Amino acid sequence: MRHTTRDLRRRNRAALLTHIYHQDAASRLELMHASGLSSGSVSNVVSDLVNDGMVAEVGSEDSDGGRPRALLRVRPEFGDVVGVDIGETHIQVGLFDWTLRARATATYAIAESLEPESVARTVLGGIEKVTAEVGVDPDGLLGVGVGVPGAARVGPSNLVYAPTLGWSGVRLDELLRRGVRAPLYIDNCARTLGQAEMWRGAGRGTSRTIVALLGVGVGAALATGPDASGVTSTTSEWGHTVVEVGGVACRCGSQGCLEAYVGAEAILTSYLERPGSEPFEATDTEARLAELAARAAVPGPAAEVLDSTAEYLGIGIANLVNLLSPDRVVLAGWAGQTIGPVILPAVRAAARRHALYYLYDQLRIELGELGSDAVALGAATLPVVRILAMGGPVPANAPR
Ligand SMILES: [Zn+2]
């Protein structure tokens, strides 16, 4: 395959920009070592990046005996991205600078309608709100990333399938294009969350991390890379792998799926069916699960339900471990965050019982670190990944 000079130049830019982006600060010498490029090439590319306003020299570090080395860092002021979390229970729109520092957030409950048109309108309203709040031109955004629950197929057809929202083949991109001129990316929220935890959270420093996303639906993403810079991630419909023969009916039409045992609605239903359970005070799913977690502090039906949840979750994780041998499993998602602190020890114990010991021994199971903003933050990484891969901003409406 022949590469033109321009391709080569872009590849070099992408490699150096990616390295600078993922390090706190990098010197030209470090960049030479990391990229294998000559000192001259590094200098040329770095001056381009500085001239374009993407990178700045910030102070210097002492080198042994020689003159101090200038350190390079990406400039947060270069531009902003939006990350959107279309969740099962809420929509969150976050404005971040492109180094992923949060600048403004808007959150909306999805109480009334899950209709794609209505969801898209809410998202567009949110983008207007957060950009207006900090005085950013929405058309000048570097990109907009959207995380949706369920399998988002982003191919030539751009169709979104999100069973938890009742969406089957929705052209979300077309609906959002009515108000978004910046490059637009849509992906599965387990994947965006995985990327967020890998870049900024509990997956940092690992080479194979599985992020288990617990909500009403249940999903998992595998993120791999020598460090965060090489992340590629794949998602799976982990929630619909069977953990019980002839088990509880699942909304996918099968029986005994993991989601039918560890999904938020499934946990609440299982609790209410138990003798001795008491009605919830709250009306929404998130608050009810929080009530359940609080009730589990004393022995009784709530504690029993969460014990059982931990066992099934441990089995689900053990299956992932035996298939994919990760070095880290991160329990995330809003439900993971709510019940995770209560069930983590039991989940670890169950996973240890069910996984091959030599695979379990190289593994740590941890809670996600990024809290409720993680999916929006992860969605904001989608345009950034593209910018890093291109070595610079992606033109609006460019083919993906
Ligand atoms: Zn299922």
Find the CATH number of the domain harbouring 40: 1.10.10.10
267 C-alpha to center of ligand 1: Å? 15
Structure tokens at 125: 């309203």
pLDDT at 397 over 80: no
> Most confidently modeled of 66-70, 154-158, 195-199, 384-388?
384-388
Q: CA-to-CA distance for 100 and 370, rounded, in angstroms?
A: 12
Dist. CA 43–CA 277, nearest whole Å: 68
pLDDT band with cut points at 50, 70 and 90 for residue 150: low
Which of 37, 34, 10, 13 is closest to 23 using CA atoms? 34
Ligand 1 centroid distance, CA of 147 (Å)? 21
pLDDT at 400 over 50: no
Looking at residues 145-156, what average pLDDT do you find? 75
If asked whether residues 357 and 224 sit together in one domain, one would say: yes
Q: How far is the CA of 252 from the centre of ligand 1 (A)?
A: 4
Tell me the CA–centroid distance for residue 319 and ligand 1, in Å. Answer: 16
Maximum distance among all Cα pairs of the chain, rounded to whole angstroms: 75
- Ligand 1 center from residue 264 Cα (angstroms): 14
Q: Who's near 111: CB < 8 A, 6+ residues apart?
A: none
Q: How far is the CA of 245 from the centre of ligand 1 (A)?
A: 13
Structure confidence at residue 193 as a pLDDT band (50, 70, 90): confident
What percentage of the chain exceeds 70 in pLDDT? 92
What is the number of structural domains in the chain? 3
Same domain for 336 and 323: yes
The Å distance, Cα 259 to ligand 1 centre, comes to: 6
Q: Please tell me the predicted confidence (pLDDT) of residue 91.
A: 93
Domain identity same for 86 and 154: yes
* pLDDT of 3: 65
> Do 331 and 209 share a structural domain?
yes
Distance 258 CA to ligand 1 centre (A): 7
Average confidence (pLDDT) over 374-384: 92
Confidence class of residue 358 from pLDDT cuts 50, 70 and 90?
very high
Quote the ligand 1 centre to 296 CA distance (angstroms). 26
Instruction: Dump pLDDT digits (tens) for 29-86.
Output: 999 998 899 999 999 999 999 999 999 998 777 666 666 778 999 999 999 999 999 9
Residues 6 or more apart from 17 whose CB is under 8 A from it?
49, 54, 55, 74, 387, 388, 391, 392
- Would you say residue 198 lies in a domain? no
How many whole angstroms separate alpha carbon 333 and alpha carbon 253? 24
Residue 230 has pLDDT above 60, yes or no: no
Residue 226's pLDDT band, with cuts at 50, 70 and 90, is: low
Find the range with the poorest average confidence among 100-104, 172-176, 218-222, 325-329: 218-222
Q: Are 12 and 104 contained in the same domain?
A: no
Q: What pLDDT score was predicted for residue 73? A: 94
Single-letter amino acid code for the residue at 278: E
Confidence class for position 152, pLDDT limits 50, 70, 90: low
User: 87 and 128: one domain?
Assistant: yes
Q: Where are the beta strands (DSSP E) in 53-193?
A: 55-61, 69-74, 80-86, 90-97, 102-109, 143-148, 160-162, 167-170, 184-188
Measure 248 CA to ligand 1 centroid, in angstroms. 9
CA of 217 to the centre of ligand 1 (A): 9
Answer whether residue 316 shows pLDDT above 70.
yes
Domain termination residue (choose one: 77, 94, 122) = 77
Report the separation in Å between the CA atom of 111 and the middle of ligand 1, taken as the mean of its atom positions.
24
Report the separation in Å between the CA atom of 218 and the middle of ligand 1, taken as the mean of its atom positions.
Answer: 10
Ligand 1 centroid to residue 163 C-alpha, Å: 10
279: CA distance to ligand 1 center in Å?
27
Whole-prediction pTM: 0.81
Cα separation, 154 vs 188, in Å, equals: 9
Distance 250 CA to ligand 1 centre (A): 5
Distance 181 CA to ligand 1 centre (A): 37
230 C-alpha to ligand 1 centroid (Å): 32
Give how far the C-alpha of residue 31 lies from the chain's centroid of Cα atoms, to the nearest Å. 28
- Domain at 215, CATH number: 3.30.420.40
Residue 164 CA to ligand 1 center (angstroms) comes to: 11
DSSP code of 316? H
Q: Which of 84, 95, 102 is CA-nearest to residue 149?
A: 84
Q: Give percent of the chain above pLDDT 90.
A: 64
Measured distance CA(102)–CA(370) in Å, rounded: 12
Question: What is the mean predicted confidence (pLDDT) over 124-152?
Answer: 92
Residue 111's pLDDT band (cuts 50, 70, 90): low
Reading phi first (left if > 0) and then psi (alpha if -120 to 50, else beta), residue 166 is in left
The pLDDT of residue 333 is 86
Q: Which residues span the domain enclosing 218?
A: 205-369
- Mean pLDDT to the nearest integer, 307-319: 97
Same domain flag for 41 and 85:
no
- 49 C-alpha vs ligand 1 centroid, how far in Å? 48
How many angstroms separate the alpha carbon of residue 256 from the centre of ligand 1? Answer: 7
Alpha carbon of 223 to ligand 1 centroid (Å): 23
Ligand 1 centre and the CA of 242: distance in Å?
8
Kind and range of the H or E element at 309? helix 301-324
Residue 86 shares a structural domain with residue 222: no
On the question of pLDDT at 371 being above 50, the answer is: yes
CA atoms within 13 A on the CB side of 254: 14
- Last residue within a domain, chosen from 77, 98, 114: 77
